[in-house]
Chain A
């Protein structure tokens, strides 16, 4: 229609230079904001998590600068307390959860041969409410005016023990920002978890029985089920805390007979399953990546499923191992020692099965596989220090010390973050259509590995020497300085490695080699689609006959369905 009307040349010129690019930006923005496509939502989750990863990483660096010398005054005590609160809260709720949900959102429908999630609009809602939670938390830096004045971020610690959160002890609004941010992100998490469970149950393509699902999907099913059970009590506790603070109820208000221990129970019945909510997706990535780069089927599929479900159930009964020093008495302590030790059995089964998958394979050392192998070693160590800490008398000594900080960072960084990096190198080609640079990837691996071990190996030592966590400074005569110097120097390597990774992603997005649909010669359904996959994923819904449909296609003479 517009083409019929003759347009003066200079007007057409003006239209293209001024209005057209603006339209384009708005269109793209509109497209992303209103999208219900699981892949775009997945990518938004991942992007949002990466931004917060950098923010919380900078907070960690600031803390390490402060602690590298005794009696340092690089930051004030109040600022330090905000830093560790925001670092922990951000890393768990606004990095760990969204990045894992992002991969889940992207991969689960593709791997089960579906065109989208079961509830696409709920999916978008969950993402935006979680994103709002994160932004609200950071708005506290500007908006949390109260008795401390404006700009006080939450400083009650990421587990916000009562009664420190009561209005008597936290008079400003910073604690309210924390509570509301967690409440919102919790609603988002429950929505996405529900969506993943429904998608897995209802949307599998023909032939994909539960026993033929990729292990990644199984682990997302377990992790999402855990989210229901674990995040609900946390959400309830946030509401109770708000009631305490503003309506005058006394759940946790010890000044009026409330119970501080009640909050601990509420928090840790969420908090420990949360660790598994975060680590199970890391296991999920390992289950896909290790077999492909060993060129072998996963060893013991049924045992892996059983171990994952087992971990899911047992993880609900270990929470009070965070409370060995609360004075629960020998009976309760003994029970939680046993429950905690038992969970090491299914976890061990997983490690042994990965070992058996490597055994007899032809291992390709891609950047992705190098991170996965790093994960295996580090997770082994993290698991063993975990068993040590499960021994209550050991925990009486080392609980709340830097030994514990080292232990859980071994899990969260050495385990989860390494697997997240591995997943990026593995699935980035699918998501963007271009390969990440392997050379930069290997540099990233080695630099980050050095930094990780400098920081977290040596962090065990000040813990054994009696350094508690969450102190903004320490006395010079305690002999902790040398260790803190080493720990802080490792942080610099980790920051450099992460920078290299971010650079690699940006560079490869524009300049990387074209990936093609299946760059790794892999076996699951997402590699049967173009890279990046079209909005509808599959032109024709696939039918599968085994756990590795692409193996069957590539080896028609020896299909998996003969053995399963």
Chain B
């Protein structure tokens, strides 16, 4: 606000002077001395000094205000009540793990809403598995880059429950645009329930089609990239699918999570996200239906 005020004032004053000069000193053909050159003025040290010193004072003011905010954001001690999440950026999805809670998930980040009286900020410890990415949820905080071989940290502290949207803000390849972020700030009770559910291994559905889908999943190369806790699938290259059906979207926020979209995505991932790293598995219709049923059962 201070910044906006200062810059707006400077703009109004200087633009006003320019406008005045341009109108007041325009050449008028009807003037008596129109053909004479105006008086030539070569400069003035006092004036130069004044429009050097005043901007320097403004810069000092802005700099001090800025430094204060930088230190308040980046150098305050981490409270004991905070929660930790490790974030790993991938082409083109987000991996979230909660080291203290033993939960791993992808693309949809759940955090407890913070009570101003007893704040529970979430500290994100970030790195990248491949190219540079940047975590940006505009309503929660500024952005922070995820860079391979480097650990960055940032914190967020939402005080209102709800869904916060964001997306990758550092160009990372073909599908940079569909590397969306969804942050759910849950009430403490909802969050505890979510954690308890996520800690469970994958549900074993009694539905025969889902069981068939599980077999197909485990006999194809799905398992080299995806983890489904409690099964032989332990790949780390793609998102963890243990509770994929509990998410609202698939493809890192690209499309709503429903059976039709799931089936279309497995059939041809390029259809929704051209350039996605998941290959089409060329399954027949029966296998596709079974896989879809299996994934949809992973509540």
Contacts and interface: CB of A to CB of B under 8 A. Distances in A.
A360 B70 contact: no
With a 10 A CB-CB cut-off, give which of A296, A352, A400, A468 has the most chain B CB atoms: A468
A466 B138 contact: yes
Interface in A531-564: 555, 560, 563-564
Interface string B146-161: 0111101100000000
Contacts of A473: 177-178
A349 B14 CA distance: 12
B14 A356 contact: no
Interface string A390-403: 01111111011100
A384 B56 CA distance: 14
A342 interface: yes
A257 B149 contact: yes
Nearest to A291: B40
The 5 closest A-B pairs by CB, nearest first: A396-B142, A471-B177, A466-B138, A327-B152, A254-B148
A486 B59 CA distance: 34
B131 A475 contact: no
B177 to A, nearest CB: 4
A393 B170 contact: no
Nearest to A160: B171
Interface in A136-162: 155, 157, 161
B18 A468 contact: no
B162 interface: no
B11 A384 contact: yes
A465 B178 CA distance: 17
A261 B150 contact: yes
Given A362-B38, A472-B177, A325 B145 contact: yes
A400 B134 contact: yes
Contacts of A360: 25, 38-39, 41
Interface in A329-376: 329-330, 333-334, 337-338, 341-342, 344-345, 348-349, 351-353, 355-356, 358-365, 373, 376
26 contacts: A76-B274, A77-B177, A81-B174, A157-B171, A254-B149, A257-B149, A258-B149, A260-B147, A261-B147, A297-B41, A300-B42, A300-B44, A301-B42, A325-B142, A327-B144, A327-B150, A330-B71, A342-B59, A353-B43, A362-B27, A380-B15, A391-B66, A391-B69, A400-B170, A465-B138, A468-B169
Contact of B74 (A77, A78, A261, A330): A330
B7 A364 contact: no
A395 to B, nearest CB: 8
A396 B143 CA distance: 5
Contacts of B150: 260-261, 327
A468 B37 contact: no
Contacts of A76: 274
Interface stretch (B46-54, B192-200, B228-236, B257-265): B46-54
B2 to A, nearest CB: 10
A381 B63 CA distance: 20
B51 A352 contact: yes
A296 B37 CA distance: 8
Given A344-B55, A355-B14, A360-B38, 10 more contacts: A164-B132, A255-B148, A299-B43, A325-B145, A326-B147, A358-B21, A373-B22, A377-B15, A392-B66, A400-B136
Given A358-B18, A466-B138, A334 B70 contact: yes
Contacts of B38: 294-296, 360-362
A388 interface: yes
Contacts of A260: 132, 147-150
Nearest to A376: B18
B51 to A, nearest CB: 4
B165 interface: yes
B131 A164 contact: yes
Contacts of B275: 77-78
B67 interface: yes
B176 interface: yes
Contact of A363 (B27, B152, B166, B178): B27
Contacts of A387: 3, 7, 62
A155 B171 CA distance: 10
Interface string B174-215: 111110100000000000000000000000000000000000
Given A296-B40, A363-B25, A164 B63 contact: no
Contacts, number: 234
Interface in B236-291: 274-275
A360 B26 CA distance: 9
A392 B44 CA distance: 36
A104 interface: no
A190 B293 CA distance: 63
A391 B17 CA distance: 26
The secondary structure that dominates the B interface is mixed
B171 A164 contact: yes
A384 B48 contact: no
Given A329-B74, A330-B70, A471 B167 contact: yes
B76 to A, nearest CB: 11
Nearest to B91: A169
Nearest to B273: A77
Interface string B76-113: 00000000000000010000000000000000000000
Contact of B63 (A78, A341, A352, A478): A341
B14 A351 contact: yes
Contacts of A326: 145, 147, 152
Interface in B111-140: 130-132, 134, 136, 138-139
Contacts of A294: 25, 38
A163 interface: yes
A302 interface: yes
B237 to A, nearest CB: 13
B274 A344 contact: no
B107 to A, nearest CB: 14
A400 B180 CA distance: 15
Contact of A470 (B44, B75, B171): B171
B10 interface: yes
Contacts of A376: 18
A260 B152 CA distance: 13
Given A260-B132, A393-B66, A478 B165 contact: yes
Nearest to A254: B148
A392 B42 contact: no
A228 interface: no
B90 to A, nearest CB: 12
B169 A77 contact: no
Contact of B22 (A296, A363, A465): A363
A399 B204 CA distance: 46
Contacts of A259: 149
Contacts of B44: 300
B143 A399 contact: yes
A132 interface: no
